[in-house]
């Protein structure tokens, strides 16, 4: 049961086996595809993609029957390792948005998105972000956000949209019209409810709970809870494994190393997409090849430096295979990587690594979107005695160190107020005694000054000011400045 006020996102990839196969071979998305299981020639359809379903192919059909309906059909054997890889990719996509993620079922992941509003925006923006992350790892996920996992799951199944948000308080309305089929009920319960004439979750929720318990037992209570939008089980957080794996079965045997390299390229592309989503690098690669003779060819490649680029990893794998080729043709490949979370760029000797250029380019683009291009950069001091004489230049970290000379001592710095607010100051014996700032009046306990400064009288932008360091009666240590040309007082900032 989710606590009141919580927000949960449900990532659901419909027809997950077909989606996982398309993820391995993206061109198949444009063709009618079926995933089959069983020993040839008696293979049965497990799932079909959208084009296959349009042609009338349904799960449970024999492959021959499916081909009779759609002669151009492409079939692939059900690959358990591919499903596991796709599920891990989906989980990592969700982990890139929320630290609390639950591995519910193949193609179904829940994420706790409570409190992410400040980072991404409203629930719709969070859902869009989750959908984008899933798409980045090759999975067309639908995302629903609601107050509980059950409602989010029902909403995303019952509506056809890519993203659906159930506002707080709208759970009952969402559940009321949803058909019972969205709950994945057991055949017995579904048949009983159909016999009773119950078609929607709203009708099921309206049934007396005690009566359901008497007639259907604990399963009846569970189904009633689901119809009310309650989560029957606690949230079980997912912990990512130390090794990340991508695998692919081959429909044909490959003996040629060039062709095998092309297959491994695609496998590594999927693996590195997952690295990118989670900001991790591979430290060690393990290559596992299933041979046509029934044996296995296993190699481990220890990387000299953590890497996440597909081209780098592919080159290393190709070199390893060229040095120690497999003894027979290959029927399946799997690549697993031990991931580390350290930046791969060592920088100069003795220096911490700096951000890479491409990371900086992406960062600058995002910052421009968030705060505008005028509001970030590297501060550069202008050669002037004028206070706060600074401009922003594009951020490009210097490579040389500015650590020569004596080590500066710790300094008290000013928290500037921009623009400096105008204040009224009461003077006694040529020294300030009270400060009026808005409606507040503060007594000055101690003061130091005036510290006179002036400049730029030679080019028409002349300025002249007296600075005072003040300790106010509330303990605040601040700096006031008297603009001598305008005879006005300003609060420069607070020492902190």
Partner 1 sequence: MLARGEITEIVGRPSSGRTSLLVDCLREATRGGGVAAVVDTDEAFDPSAAARAGVDLRRVLWVRCGGRRDVALRVADLLVRCPGFTVVGLDLGERPPRIPLTVAFRLRLAVRRSGSALLILASRRIAGPGATLAVQTIRRSLEWSGPRGAPTRLARVGIDVRVLRSRGPWHGRGEPGATRWWTA
Between residues 323 and 439, which has the closer beta carbon with respect to partner 1? 439
The rounded distance, in Å, linking the Cα atoms of 39 and 348 is 58
How would you classify residue 404: left for phi > 0, otherwise alpha for psi between -120 and 50, otherwise beta?
beta
- At closest approach, how far in Å is the CB of 248 from partner 1? 27
For 179, the token pair is: 């058909």
Least gap, CB of 416 to partner 1 (angstroms): 5
Query: Which of residues 375 and 488 has its CB atom nearest to partner 1 in the complex?
Result: 375
Cα-based distances in Å from 468 to 226, 422, 432, 447: 68, 14, 9, 7
Shortest distance, CB of residue 411 to partner 1, whole angstroms?
4
Query: Least CB distance from residue 435 to partner 1, whole Å?
Result: 14
Whole-angstrom CA distances from 469 to 388, 420, 439, 446, 466 are 16, 15, 21, 8, 10
Q: Give the nearer residue to partner 1 in terms of CB position, either 324 or 348.
A: 348
Largest CA distance in the chain: 106
Q: Which is nearer to partner 1, 8 or 141 (CB)?
A: 8
Which residue's CB is nearer to partner 1, number 181 or number 396? 396
Q: How far is the CB of 121 from partner 1 (least distance, A)?
A: 9
Closest contact distance (angstroms) between CB of 460 and partner 1 is 24
Choose among 271, 288, 270, 300: nearest CA to 330. Answer: 288
Strand ranges (DSSP E) for 13-147? 33-37, 44-48, 74-77, 101-105, 108-112, 142-146
In the complex, the smallest distance separating the C-beta of residue 476 from partner 1, rounded to whole angstroms, is: 5
Judged by CB, which is closer to partner 1: 399, or 459? 399
- Closer Cβ to partner 1, 16 or 275, answer by number: 275
Q: Do strands 142-146 and 163-165 pair parallel, antiparallel, or not at all (unpaired)?
A: parallel
Closest of 268, 246, 256, 247 to residue 326, by C-alpha: 256
What does residue 319 show for φ and ψ, rounded to 5 degrees?
-60, -40
């Amino acid at each position: 049961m989710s606590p009141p006020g919580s927000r949960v996102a449900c990532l659901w990839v419909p027809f997950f086996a077909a989606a996982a196969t398309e993820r391995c071979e993206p061109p198949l998305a444009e063709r009618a595809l079926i995933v089959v299981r069983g020993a040839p020639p008696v293979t049965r359809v497990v799932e079909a993609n959208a084009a296959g379903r349009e042609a009338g192919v349904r799960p449970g059909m024999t492959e021959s029957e499916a081909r009779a309906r759609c002669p151009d059909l492409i079939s692939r054997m059900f690959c358990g390792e591919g499903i596991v890889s796709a599920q891990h990719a989906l989980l990592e996509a969700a982990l890139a948005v929320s630290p609390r993620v639950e591995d519910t079922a193949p193609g179904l992941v829940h994420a706790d998105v409570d409190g992410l509003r400040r980072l991404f925006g409203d629930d719709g923006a969070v859902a869009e972000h989750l959908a984008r992350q899933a798409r980045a790892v090759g999975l067309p996920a639908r995302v629903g956000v609601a107050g509980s996992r059950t409602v989010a799951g029902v909403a995303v199944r019952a509506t056809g949209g890519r993203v659906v948000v159930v506002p707080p308080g709208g759970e009952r309305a969402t559940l009321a019209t949803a058909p019972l089929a969205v709950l994945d009920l057991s055949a017995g319960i579904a048949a009983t409810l159909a016999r009773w004439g119950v078609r929607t979750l709203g009708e099921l929720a309206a049934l007396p709970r005690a009566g359901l318990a008497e007639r259907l037992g604990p399963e009846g209570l569970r189904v009633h809870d689901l119809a009310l939008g309650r989560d029957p089980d606690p949230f079980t957080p997912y912990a990512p494994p130390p090794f990340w794996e991508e695998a692919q079965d081959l429909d044909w045997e490959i003996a040629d190393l060039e062709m095998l390299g092309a297959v491994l390229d695609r496998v590594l592309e999927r693996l590195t997409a997952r690295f990118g989503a989670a900001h991790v690098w591979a430290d060690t690669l393990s290559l596992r090849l299933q041979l046509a003779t029934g044996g296995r060819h296993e190699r481990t490649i220890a990387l000299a430096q953590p890497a996440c680029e597909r081209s780098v990893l592919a080159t290393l794998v190709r070199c390893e295979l060229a040095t120690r080729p497999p003894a027979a043709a290959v029927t399946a490949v799997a690549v697993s990587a031990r991931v580390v979370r350290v930046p791969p760029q060592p920088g100069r000797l003795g220096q911490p690594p700096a951000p890479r250029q491409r990371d900086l380019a992406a960062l600058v683009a995002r910052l421009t979107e968030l705060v505008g291009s005028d509001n970030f950069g590297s501060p550069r001091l202008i050669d002037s005695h004028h206070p706060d004489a600074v401009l922003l230049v594009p951020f490009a970290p210097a490579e040389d160190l500015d650590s020569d000379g004596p080590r500066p001592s710790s300094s008290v710095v000013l928290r500037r107020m921009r623009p400096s607010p105008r204040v009224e100051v009461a003077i006694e014996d040529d020294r300030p005694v009270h400060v009026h700032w808005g409606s507040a009046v503060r007594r000055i306990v101690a003061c130091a000054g005036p510290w006179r400064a002036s400049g730029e009288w030679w080019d028409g932008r002349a300025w002249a000011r007296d600075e005072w360091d003040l300790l106010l009666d509330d303990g605040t240590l601040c700096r006031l400045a008297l603009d001598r040309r305008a005879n006005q007082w300003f609060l420069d900032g607070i020492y902190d």
